[in-house]
Structure 1
Amino acid sequence: MSNYPELEDKVVIVTGSGSGMGRDACMALAAAGARIVLGNRNRAAGEAVAAAIAATGGTAVFQPTDVSKPADCAALVQRALDAFGRLDGAFNNAGLQREFCDIHETPDADISDVIDINLKGVLYMMKYEAAAMLKTGGGAIVNNSSIFGLKAMPHLAYYVAAKHGVLGATRAAALDYAQQGIRVNAVCPGPIKTASYDRVTGGDDHMYDDGVPMHRIGQPREVSDAVLWLLSGRSSYVTGSFISVDGGMCAA
């Protein structure tokens, strides 16, 4: 039996669904009985997750999506409406990080790509998601920020700026729709075991242990648990907020 029976048959969009936190959230939502609309730039990866959901008896559709393109964001929301007639929730998870370097050495392309995907992509997705939710009585949106939406880190000014922006956008949008049945919140993960993490660390699961009070990295499911709670009615009085899934890093 699902831990979140209230998510049964809910229609939920997940961007960046092909791997890492996005993939895990898709699988967890499908296990709860939600109908998943997957958006991902890499078609093969997105279709593989949709197939994995179908293999477990779940329901999922895939739409190739580059969240830096407003037309793609609109098309992803429309796919949800065409397939299921409504939109109840969204996990705006798509994001990327490029090289560590001081701001004066950061390539213009890296700044542009990260702002376009990590920040503007969230804004575009919320725009079209909120419009759809207003037509069917509301919903819940969860944006993926980062602990670097709450604190700074050297050599990542462009990424820190984008993730701070995600939290600002989350709070502002929550106020826009607080009386219209749409809740908007965020998660702020710390170091989580994903392919992206492995690219940065070379696969060393203990590289950041000394900087984490719990002295370990997190697992994608620990983020998914927070996402499912925020998407469910159990968080019905929570909007404009965030959950740090970071082993205590922001408390230190």
Structure 2
Amino acid sequence: MDILTLSSMLLTVSALFAYVNYRLFKLPTTIGIMVVSLLFSVALVVLSRAGFSEGIVYAREVIGQIDFNQALMNGMLAWLLFAGALHVNLSELIDKRWIVGILASVGVITSTFIVGTGTYYILNALGFEISYIYCLLFGSLISPTDPVAVMGVLKTAGATKSLETKIAGESLFNDGVAIVVFLVIFGIAVHGDPISVPHIGGLFLQEAVGGAVFGFLIGWVVLQMLMRVDNYQVEVLLTLAL
């Protein structure tokens, strides 16, 4: 299946799920689509257990053609962060830099262990014997927040500007730390690699610090270009090129 067909299917399913959410659940769009997706997935599993396995077989075939590492890390994540950053006031973010930094680093690591530990005990209580390290891996995936979803929830809830800046800022910067935590736990879980402090430090410098510095430099260059043009088409193209 080619990329155009996959993209069309994803867009169609997302639109249908958004419509179902609007009519039935009335949750924020991003969260509502996720909830409907989970319910749809559960329905496919139930139908498969009842003998109607065609749907889940087809879903597995489609999903099996997607490289989620490339699709998420090198595709979706950049657009999500870009969309979230558009709604953040930079001066207010700088004022809250310390609390945002703590939430995006210590908060993500703490959440990873809380979610991982809770998942481990819940699954074992339900009879699923899963190694603790894999539960931590799940925790590292779940802990970072989606900036687009966060902004939608905050605006719906009528949060104060200060709280909105803190949470939205954390959601933008937690991915660098989360990637490092995920790669470290993944290496231990799959390859049994020992934890190396220099290796962890190198990953953090590359993914978090390096990404932030590179983004700042490219953003500054594009800003200088935007200040020298007065054409909305060129301005939109330059912004999207980021």
User: Do they superpose with TM above 0.5?
Assistant: no
* Structure number with higher helix proportion: 2
Structure whose CA Rg is larger: 2
Using CA pairs under 8 Å that are at least 6 residues apart, name the structure with larger relative contact order, 1 or 2: 1
TM-score (norm 1): 0.26
TM-score (norm 2): 0.27
* Structure number with higher strand proportion: 1
